Amino acid sequence: MSFEKIRPPEEGEKIRYENGKLVVPDNPIIPYFEGDGIGKDVVPAAMLVLDAAAEKIGKEIVWFKTYAGEDAYKMYGTYLPEDTLNAIREYRVALKGPLTTPVGGGFRSLNVTIRQVLDLYANVRPVYYLKGFPSPLKNPEAVDLVIFRENTEDVYAGIEWPRGSEEAKKLIKFLADEFGVTIREDSGIGIKPISEFATKRLVRLAIQYALDNDRESVTLVHKGNIMKYTEGAFRDWGYEVAREEFEDVTITEDELWNNYDGKIPKGKIVIKDRIADNMFQQLLTRTAEYDVLAMPNLNGDYMSDAAAALVGGLGVAPGSNIGDGMGVFEPVHGSAPKYAGQNKVNPTAEILTGVLMFEYLGWKKAGEMIKRAIELTVEDRIVTYDLHRHMGGNLVGTREFAQAVVERLDSV
């Protein structure tokens, strides 16, 4: 594949996708872009750690620099050039930093665009506790869950028109004339699509993940008591996937109690559901009961941020966007432009995003080494400013924290 303004590295090999599985060489070419704001701080710091951990297991990452956000606009005149999208298509796995999204106006979210254009339909966000990090919970080690957030539909489809626009006026009139629905004339209008196809492929991926990783349950999180034909349908279609495609290995919560006295039989996964607002409080009150959560787009955004607060906040929250044979890995936090270039912020979320990427590549040993090295760094009270204000210790910058993690890789 040819590119307009970037050149792939001459060394390294492509990751391939064959028979539904990734084929990963020992020296994969992986595109990356730093993005906006603190991306220029945290991405290089994460790459430092990832390179060191890969070397420990006899692997090498051959990085391919691409561009998105403000840097891309300066180079290409667009915030998300085809060069970057084509690099991800060609090499299948990419690491990214945060991208700025304006509120209320300006260009559309680049994160959402990347997910939709590349059909990265599952936003997968693991939430787990690393020793030493501050937490509001008495027993934060009980938090160990993975959120599967549908990535292409719901209100994030971006189907909306501003108040007073011709489109909004036409839609308001159409709904009144055809369906007797009254909407105030000064309303902005948005449409919330949730399809059977997108729901089922997300839930299918969540169940398969639970099976592959020895998880005990998959919980469908929805607001189906109010939005019956979108989020209620999400719930129903999720149960259909379990019943029709995973019948031999799944049971419902009712079956668990009626047939097994609440004890999960060996080789079975429990499929259950919760109303979204109830799920928020159960994250706090019944944390250990939840394992894998699958939910529509907006619920997943809220829920994953709330869950991250239980284990130290967005500064330690990794994320990924997964499609069929393709993955783009990004931290949950935003671009925080006021801290950009100050070598100040915590790179842990970006580093753990790299861990998630390693797991996707099948390099789990390297990922576990990194997590333990981060714990050792914090246990030695080497911390960035966000942790320092809670626990004191030796205050260091972004690069210095990453270097401390690298040094502790030798101890794990």
Domain-located, residue 218: yes
pLDDT tens, position by position, 19-62: 999 999 999 999 999 999 999 999 999 999 999 999 999 999 99
Of residues 59, 96, 192, 223, which has the active-site annotation? 223
Question: Binding residue per annotation — 339?
Answer: yes
pLDDT of residue 84: 97
Region of 122 on the Ramachandran plot (φ > 0 left; ψ -120 to 50 alpha; else beta): beta
Question: Binding residue per annotation — 119?
Answer: no
Looking at per-residue confidence, does 360 or 332 come out higher? Answer: 360
Question: Binding residue per annotation — 165?
Answer: no
Domain of residue 174: give its range. 155-191
Residue 232: pLDDT above 80?
A: yes
Rounded to whole angstroms, the Cα distance separating 339 from 396 reads: 15
Of residues 79, 301, 360, 371, which has the active-site annotation? 301
Distance of CA 255 to the CA centre of its chain: 31
Residues paired with 22 in a beta bridge: 17
pLDDT of residue 234: 98
Q: Assess whether 83 and 216 both reside in one domain.
A: no
DSSP state of 89: H
Domain-located, residue 331: yes
Mean pLDDT, the chain, integer: 94
Q: Assess whether 180 and 203 both reside in one domain.
A: no
Residue 106: pLDDT above 60?
A: no
Question: Binding residue per annotation — 302?
Answer: no
Give catalytic status of residue 291 as yes or no: no
Domain-located, residue 62: yes
Give catalytic status of residue 301 as yes or no: yes
Q: Assess whether 217 and 296 both reside in one domain.
A: yes
Q: Assess whether 146 and 283 both reside in one domain.
A: yes
Domain-located, residue 128: no
How does residue 227 score in pLDDT terms, banded at 50, 70 and 90? very high
AA letter at 31? P
Residue 74: pLDDT above 60?
A: yes
Question: Which of 70-104 are b and which e, b meaning 16 or more Cβ less than 10 Å from the residue's Cβ?
Answer: bbbeeebeebbbebbbbbbeebbbbbbbbbbbeee
Q: Assess whether 146 and 293 both reside in one domain.
A: yes
Q: Checking DSSP bridges between strand 122-128 and strand 93-96, what pairing results, if any?
A: unpaired
pLDDT of residue 1: 81
Domain-located, residue 130: no
Please state, for a pLDDT cut of 90, what percent of the chain lies above it. 88
Of residues 26, 277, 324, 410, which has the active-site annotation? 277
